[in-house]
């Protein structure tokens, strides 16, 4: 009965790695990720040729690169999903410190590519955005600290995780990259809530975030310009938001037809931040609803599997990874329909971008590793072990 309730699967000592991985993996999440990547390639065929022509490149230059980056991301995702939670934790902590040091060095060695925010390292043939790789490592790191605080005689992990979160968020905000900073704080808030934080404390933190936003609005021209553009009752039709809004309106329910969209010729970021506008214009509301349903399936399905998990570290880390994945998708689509201020954030596995795709592959690989079916043990045995500590 315990196995029926908690989803345990028998572990056969002679099992090979691949059969055991296939029996225990969350096949719904895996399938949805592959479908999202396929949709991203399909949209890339529509969105990237205008940019390639503008830069004097082959028509499908960016599609080929997205295929290479995406293929690498899928391979990395599968490899990480085969790891044990302990191995994932160790690699994630090492990855977090490497990404954190890379963020610290951005003001010295980074570049902004003319976008007003120093977020990338230019390698000549490609660029790397450290904040994308920081997110999965940060979530696992803070989940480990929060889980350690629940143990008898454990460290003050909640305090340490809060200090770490503030350090990372401020470092991102000063790039400036307020979107990633907000995602980091959101993920920590969700994990802190699941770990048992009182609602009063979360409300106090929300008020503190509001005052911090007010401070940045008064002192950051980059931040203020985006907030003013969002709050303005009129949308300038020559801006990216104006082009995206018009494209979504023109698409209607079934779109204007494959290859017939015009927004890709006007938006410089049609293949990245505003890829959903291309989908809405050419394929209509139906395509957008399918994309939303795929993200919802990944997030809700993962959370349902994590509800059966008794290990607090796995439950917290998996929850943080699932929620930040869904939140990034919501932010990207929310910006395109003007429900949120412009953030400069990609749509996971759909938008073009090497750092985004590979870091997304790492994050989902970790999530798949944490949500694999595993024997949970009888609840009486767990209580007995705790009583004998």
Element holding 128 (H helix, E strand): strand 127-128
- pLDDT of 7 reads 44
Helix (H) / strand (E) element for 121: namely strand 121-122
Q: Which residue's structure tokens are 């509001």?
A: 210
Of 213, 142, 146, the C-alpha closest to 184 is 142
Burial class (CB in 10 A: 0-12, 13-18, 19+), 205: middle
Write down the pLDDT at residue 273: 85
Question: Within the chain, where are the H helices?
Answer: 2-6, 17-24, 27-54, 61-81, 85-109, 130-148, 157-173, 178-194, 199-219, 221-231, 240-251, 275-306, 312-336, 354-371, 379-387
Domains in the chain: boundaries: 18-375
> What's the confidence (pLDDT) of residue 3?
40
Q: 363 to each of 23, 145, 232, 304, how far by Cα in Å?
A: 21, 18, 36, 18
**b or e along 293-318 (b: 16 or more beta carbons within 10 Å of the residue's beta carbon)?**
ebbeebbebbbebbeebebbbbbbbb
Residue 137 near residue 99 (C-beta atoms within 8 A): yes
Residue recorded with tokens 């008064």: 218
C-beta of residue 139 within 8 angstroms of C-beta of residue 155:
no
Residue 220 and residue 215: Cα distance in Å, rounded? 8
How high is the pLDDT of residue 247? 84
pLDDT at position 342 is 74
pTM: 0.87
pLDDT for 27 equals 95
Cα–Cα dist 334/225, whole Å: 18
Cβ contacts of residue 202 below 8 Å, gap of 6+? 189, 192, 193
Average pLDDT per consecutive 10 residues, the chain (389 residues; last block may be shorter) = 42 69 94 96 87 85 93 96 95 96 90 78 85 95 93 85 92 85 91 84 78 76 70 67 82 84 79 88 93 97 93 95 96 86 85 92 97 66 51
Predicted local distance difference test score (pLDDT) of residue 388: 55
């Amino acid at each position: 009965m315990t196995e029926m309730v908690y989803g345990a699967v028998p572990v056969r000592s002679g099992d090979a790695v691949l059969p055991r991985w296939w029996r225990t993996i969350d096949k719904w999440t895996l399938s949805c990720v592959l479908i999202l990547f396929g949709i991203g390639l399909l949209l890339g065929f529509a969105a990237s040729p205008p940019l390639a022509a503008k830069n004097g490149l082959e028509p499908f230059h960016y599609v080929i690169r997205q295929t290479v980056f995406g293929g690498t991301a899928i391979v990395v995702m599968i490899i990480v999903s085969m790891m044990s939670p302990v191995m994932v934790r160790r690699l994630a902590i090492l990855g977090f410190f490497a990404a954190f040091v890379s963020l610290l060095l951005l003001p010295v060695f980074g570049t902004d590519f003319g976008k007003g925010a120093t977020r990338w390292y230019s390698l000549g043939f490609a660029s790397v955005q450290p904040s994308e790789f920081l997110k999965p490592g940060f979530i696992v790191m803070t989940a480990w600290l929060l889980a350690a605080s629940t143990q008898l005689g454990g460290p003050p992990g909640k305090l340490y995780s809060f200090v770490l979160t503030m350090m990372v968020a401020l470092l991102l905000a000063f790039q400036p990259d307020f979107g990633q900073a907000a995602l980091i704080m959101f993920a920590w808030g969700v994990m802190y809530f699941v770990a048992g934080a009182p609602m009063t404390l979360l409300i106090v933190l929300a008020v503190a975030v509001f005052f911090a936003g007010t401070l940045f609005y008064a002192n950051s021209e980059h931040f203020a310009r985006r907030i003013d553009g969002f709050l303005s009752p009129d949308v300038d039709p020559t801006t990216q938001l104006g082009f995206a809004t018009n494209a979504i309106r023109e698409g209607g329910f079934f779109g204007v037809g494959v290859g017939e969209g015009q927004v890709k010729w006007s938006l410089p970021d049609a293949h990245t931040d505003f890829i959903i506008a291309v989908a809405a214009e050419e394929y209509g509301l139906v395509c957008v609803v399918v994309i939303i349903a795929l993200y919802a399936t990944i997030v809700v399905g993962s959370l349902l599997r994590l509800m059966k998990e008794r290990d607090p570290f796995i439950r917290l880390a998996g929850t943080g990874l699932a929620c930040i994945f869904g939140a990034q998708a919501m932010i990207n689509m929310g910006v395109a329909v003007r429900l949120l201020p412009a953030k400069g954030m990609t749509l996971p596995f759909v938008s073009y971008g090497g750092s985004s795709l590979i870091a997304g592959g790492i994050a989902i690989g970790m999530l798949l590793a944490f949500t694999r079916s595993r024997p949970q043990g009888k609840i009486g045995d767990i209580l007995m072990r705790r009583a004998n500590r």
